[in-house]
Chains A and B, each alone.
Chain A
């Protein structure tokens, strides 16, 4: 990476910089004529007498001449502003492109960091560098060459003019420049040092802020908020001090510069005056020189400002890039090469030495050979260096000394295209990406884009532009909208086969059960799962029949019936006998529908709902006022958000107990109604939804359905015969709600549904539907076990030659043991290396090695192999 900003700018944008310079120079005569023309209009066209004028062979009277000059003026105004527009857009675009190039380069460098480097850097520091800190560079790039060239040229012209008048005066004019040229950079250097400190301090602040957010639970649990506040306040003070120092010096520079600029006229008056008195210089020339000197100040100031800006931006640039140049950065080819080599051969470690940063023993002279398709375990703790050894075997870490070879190829020389496709590695805590289960499972297949979706003309044009811009900025020309699932990596040719593969591997790893359960909770997309929806409707009928035949099952649910109030559902579902059509739907939006609001008001339910809402918030404020905002109790049980708490507290104070002081405002009433509508009687047990009220709701519901010719578009009416689009598969089968007052009702119902699903051979389509389950941010909606299994599935999907699993199969239960056996069977033609801390698990594999304090000891497999080899030699 270029160490200096100017070099970076020049090497990637010299051509464009010259265009900017050329256009700037071209605009100069236009601006000059534009300044001259008004003089000509007033002096020659308006006050002039010498008419008619002869211009380009035409004889023009005064009015015509005025018209021609004014039109010329208008034309030049347009041209001059056109130049400005062109230059601004050109500079802006260049700046943005360079910024994009710089940011991408930095991002790619993050990808090229050796893994060990991530122990030294924190994301809290890296993120602002790539996002905010380089922002200033973009604005500067467009001006980088044009401004100094233009202003420098102006300055040279003015100085030349003074010299032509008088060489002494010329010398006087520039006499202080050397002094300024010496003092100002000195002061500026100090400012730069401070700027660097400021950037670093802000980074530390970002880091502390990130740490506070991550460790907020522990801060509250240990009452250390004061401690952290003090630390942060201290950082802020440092920031203030640095900035204040910068101001002091910045304005001192300004002061010195202004002072020096005005010191020169002092010499002019003294020397020029003396020369004029002596008769060696005319008064006119002296005045012209003084006027010219005044014009010097403009470009000089601009140049100084440019100098300061350059220095500032340069320091920002340097303080960023110095963090992106660690030793042993991976080569770009390693990342971008498409060459894939087969690793079907022995994995050999020769004299491998590796010193971890902290916390683990040094791997000392490790020698071992694992023949292809052999399954072995490596027993040892992380402190023994197990994790490092496995990562070295996977090519994720490079050893300090020695070589790791797979099928004769040295791992450290191989591209990621080979390492990432032919070696699978899964650790105990795999990173789960925000997206669906399918996204995470197929993650290991997404190396390069495979096929583009069909695009219309408009999108194709957009894509062309996208590709052009990528080319201009050395960004990769790989489209993110493409289909990235590489079927060949998964060893299949058809998407259906890929689905089958996924299901098979999920079965092997034990994720199937969860997949099925998640499938039951999935909201099906009508287009992708039309057939399954029809099958689910059949199950609904079967389930209803089963309830009829088995009263104990019927007792567990509250079915949706038009004449019956469902105590385990919300009031809004009961009132409209419907569910919202979209997931992100808000009740407030429903009340915004005039028809619905009028209906609720007319039905006489509005005021009782307001009262209910009021009672609810009274209780919520009473119960949750002391609960910390990040407590799960708040998000799970409180009806109101923590931010709304103060509002409701003051509302309760103003309206008094039972709204005895005054009724709430219309706006608040609306809010209260929407709170009341979310009540579930058996869950919230506030005692506000009386039997009478329930009966009233059912009457109103029927009235609304009967009287409304067109049902509100946001709602989908419960209908026994149709699949409810915004309900889960399970809710569609049950067509009712599970009674909350029945313990283990859910379990029993799940068993019944499971039998029906199996009888109808729907397990597979439901599991496939489960693949569309969104795992939440970084897998927040999955438990640890599911995450581990998901990591395992991902590793197995790519059909790699070598599979390395570190603590990914840690369960000691009988099921865990069976899973390990199944896995060995599944991977019978591949090399499998399993890291574990448990001797019992280790002993389950045909070859066992033990790692103790960084040394391979007691490695039964190797001894065996040595004997074999010796035997082999003897035979020869």
Chain B
């Protein structure tokens, strides 16, 4: 895995879409590349999260309360909220087959934001969009239940 490849993977992640190539490359460089064998656990539900994972290769099973909810695949990001605030992991991640993921640590990400305050704003916008979308969905859901 090279930085260039990892950068290309990050580019496809919508959470980071507002970052330019140079910053993505830096983000990739300061992150760790982790190799997983099949069945290896990446993180446990309830543990304190301190990094986000971007799948570079292979697939990861997302299990909640020992039940597989979804299988994430190349280009997906998992646990991204952990790089902004301390919350326990909401799911256990297990490699479905041989996989490589990029672990972006909270500390490093915050240092990057410190260096480029403009990025914080873009990330904030992205989160606001998501919040707005979730609120809308929730409202729709509520309306549906009422009906």
A residues touching B (Cβ–Cβ < 8 Å)? 221, 555, 619, 622-624, 626-628, 631-633, 636-637, 682, 684-687, 740-743
Contact = CB atoms under 8 A, between A and B. Distances in A.
A622 B111 CA distance: 18
Interface in B13-70: 22, 25-26, 29-30, 32-37, 42
Given A623-B29, A686-B2, A743-B42, A632 B111 contact: yes
Contacts of B42: 743
A784 to B, nearest CB: 15
B115 A627 contact: yes
Name the residue among A632, A685, A740, A742 with the largest chain B CB count within 10 angstroms: A685
B147 interface: no
Contact of B3 (A633, A682, A685, A740): A685
B112 interface: yes
A868 B39 CA distance: 68
B143 interface: no
Given A555-B37, A685-B29, 4 more contacts: A623-B26, A626-B116, A631-B114, A686-B2
A685 B56 CA distance: 14
B6 A685 contact: yes
A687 B29 contact: no
Contacts of B36: 743
A685 B25 contact: no
11 contacts: A619-B3, A623-B22, A626-B115, A631-B114, A633-B112, A685-B29, A685-B33, A741-B32, A741-B34, A741-B35, A742-B34
Given A622-B22, A687-B3, A743 B33 contact: no
Contacts of B132: none
Contacts of B37: 555
Contacts of A637: 29-30
A743 B112 CA distance: 22
Contacts of B33: 682, 685, 741
B34 A633 contact: no
B137 interface: no
Nearest to A217: B114
Name the residue among A623, A626, A682 with the largest chain B CB count within 10 angstroms: A623
Given A623-B22, A633-B111, A633-B115, A685 B30 contact: no
Interface string B68-103: 000000000000000000000000000000000001
Contacts of A686: 2-3
B145 to A, nearest CB: 41
Given A682-B33, A686-B2, A631 B115 contact: yes
Contact of B35 (A619, A627, A742): A742
B32 A740 contact: yes
Given A623-B22, A623-B26, A637-B29, A743 B34 contact: yes
B2 A622 contact: no
Contacts of A631: 111, 114-115
A555 B36 CA distance: 11
B134 interface: no
Contact of A685 (B1, B22, B115): B1
Given A685-B6, A741-B33, A622 B114 contact: no
Contacts of B111: 631-633
A632 B109 CA distance: 12
B73 to A, nearest CB: 19
B23 to A, nearest CB: 9
B135 interface: no
Nearest to A627: B115
Contacts of B25: 619, 622-623
Contacts of A632: 111
Contacts of B30: 633, 636-637
B133 interface: no
Nearest to A682: B33
B36 to A, nearest CB: 8
Contacts of A685: 1-3, 6, 29, 33
A682 B112 CA distance: 22
Interface string B110-143: 0110111000000000000000000000000000
A728 B141 CA distance: 59
Contacts of A741: 32-35
A430 B114 CA distance: 29
Contacts of A622: 22, 25
Nearest to A555: B37
Contacts of B22: 622-623
Contacts of A740: 32
A476 B37 CA distance: 67
Nearest to B3: A685
A628 B117 CA distance: 12
A400 B65 CA distance: 64
Contact of A628 (B6, B29, B115): B115
Contacts of A619: 3, 25, 29
A555 B114 CA distance: 37
A633 B108 CA distance: 8
A687 B34 contact: no
Nearest to B1: A685
Name the residue among B2, B29, B32 with the largest chain A CB count within 10 angstroms: B29
Contacts of B103: 743
Contacts of A682: 33
A439 to B, nearest CB: 30
Contacts of B35: 741-742
A555 B40 CA distance: 12
A486 to B, nearest CB: 42
A219 to B, nearest CB: 13
A735 B1 CA distance: 26
A555 B4 CA distance: 26
Closest 4 CB pairs of A and B: A687-B2, A741-B35, A623-B26, A743-B34
A622 B28 CA distance: 13
A364 B14 CA distance: 62
A799 B108 CA distance: 43
Contacts of B115: 626-628, 631, 633
A363 B22 CA distance: 59
Nearest to B108: A633
A220 to B, nearest CB: 9
Contacts of A221: 114
Contacts of B2: 685-687
Nearest to B40: A743
Contacts of A624: 26
A686 B3 CA distance: 6
B41 to A, nearest CB: 9
B32 to A, nearest CB: 7
A755 B110 CA distance: 36
B103 to A, nearest CB: 7
B84 to A, nearest CB: 18
A849 B1 CA distance: 62
A848 to B, nearest CB: 33
A687 B8 CA distance: 14
Contacts of A626: 115-116
Contacts of B1: 685
B4 A687 contact: yes
Nearest to B100: A741
